[in-house]
A and B are shown apart, each in its own frame.
Chain A
Amino acid sequence: MLVILCIKFEKTMNTKQTIAVIGATGNMGSGISKSLSKGNYRLLLFANQLSKLQTLEAEILEINPSADIEITACPTESSWEADIIILAVPYAVQQQIAQKIKEVANQKIVISIANPLNETYDGLVTAPNTSAAEELEKLLPNSKVIKAFNTVFAPDFTQPIIAGSQADAFIAGDDQDALQTVNELVITAGFNPIIAGGLHVSRTLENMSLLLIQLNMKNNYNWLAGWKILHQ
């Protein structure tokens, strides 16, 4: 089946968007928060431990003193304020948080970064006909769920150019405007954005990540690795 995806590209928005980063102090959450703090975004950072949030806040302000960031005590409150919600948490936590924020995430962009790996890292816990992103969409049917940042590792955020090439970062989703918005986020984070297709393509993206994680462990990439599409 051939699917033609047409994206209408608009210029970057003037209006500062508010992004809630849930799980901000995790490896991925920190990488995402630090890189997005350089963009025209207001970040609301949530994690379970206040002391870690305070450390993260200080680190971000050191890199970027004019960053518009705030640490928050509640994922629901921060999601209520947010225009975009990034669930920078593992798959199981992603599903738990989704139940909590469902009402305030209505009609908003919610980004799934989770790779639903099993405990032995040799497979995914999701069935082949679904993905972490699609399972999130089942819980948040009125949100614009987008898959992003799952094919890059946390250290890549500090060094998105690996072995002389800028890592690609794949995005999948069904809402065209949301894809465009997340495209901008990926650019701000320093990666080359590739819109891979509809949300169902998350199945491929999550499997790609499984492969990269296995190769990383086998070949000692030290988590500094990524995907790059070669083309004419």
Chain B
Amino acid sequence: MYDVFFQKFNQKIPLTEEEENFVKNYLSPKKLRKRQYLLQEGDVCKSIAFVEKGSMRSYLVDPDGQEHITAFALEGWTIGDLSSFHSEQPTTQSIDALEDCELVLISKSAHDELLRTMPKYETYIRLLITDAYVALQKRTLNMISMSLDDRYKAFIDIYPSITQRVPQHMIASYMGLSPETLSRIRNRINTSK
């Protein structure tokens, strides 16, 4: 239930068995089926989700009704609306399952209690958020400075398995492109190989 969660945790900061058992008190295991919502727009994001198995996406819907994917989460990744989680205000995003998932949820109250009582958890969260911030920074810089082809190549380099798990139109949405444009990019890259 928590193998991948603790594997990732220990990679950031090693825990003793006793410390793992302490953290387990605060974790909620949740199975979600394909296309089920973890969070719908308008609700407060009350938990951060760690993906033990499966894949998730977060997205928002613009005033024209168009979906824009804001993040993916495969095994070992975390997903949630940090702004809503932190501020306890309604989210503008929705989060649902792309495949049947096993998640590990940490609620706001569990998170606050762990931060208060376990320094190693605070380190884990600091490193998690730092990594996420750096990734977001890279994504922004890539969007501003790179050609479309190079942006796609950079994305695939970091997440090589994603094309097998996620439909192409969703990758296009995440990159802010139409599916046709992404298709052209992929053809260009494949023919130049």
Contact = CB atoms under 8 A, between A and B. Distances in A.
Interface of A: 10, 13-16, 42, 77, 80-81, 83, 103-104, 106-108, 142, 177
Interface residues of B, number: 25
Greatest chain B CB density within 10 A among A14, A80, A104 is at A14
Contact of A15 (B37, B105, B107, B109): B37
B49 interface: no
B31 A106 contact: no
Interface of A is mostly: loop
A104 B38 CA distance: 17
Contacts of A42: 36
Greatest chain A CB density within 10 A among B1, B27, B30, B41 is at B30
A80 B31 contact: yes
B24 interface: yes
B43 to A, nearest CB: 5
Interface in B98-132: 105, 107, 109-110
A107 B26 contact: yes
A81 B32 contact: yes
A75 to B, nearest CB: 14
Given A103-B1, A107-B105, A107-B107, A15 B40 contact: yes
Given A16-B40, A106-B25, A107-B107, 12 more contacts: A10-B44, A13-B40, A14-B40, A14-B42, A15-B39, A77-B31, A81-B31, A83-B30, A103-B1, A104-B1, A106-B28, A177-B109
Contact of A142 (B25, B41, B43): B25
Nearest to A142: B25
A96 to B, nearest CB: 21
B29 interface: yes
A107 B104 CA distance: 11
Interface string B10-38: 00000000000000111111111100111
Contacts of A81: 30-33
B140 to A, nearest CB: 29
B37 A16 contact: yes
Contacts of A14: 40-43
Interface in B62-114: 105, 107, 109-110
12 contacts: A13-B43, A14-B41, A15-B40, A15-B43, A80-B31, A81-B30, A81-B31, A106-B28, A107-B28, A142-B25, A177-B46, A177-B109
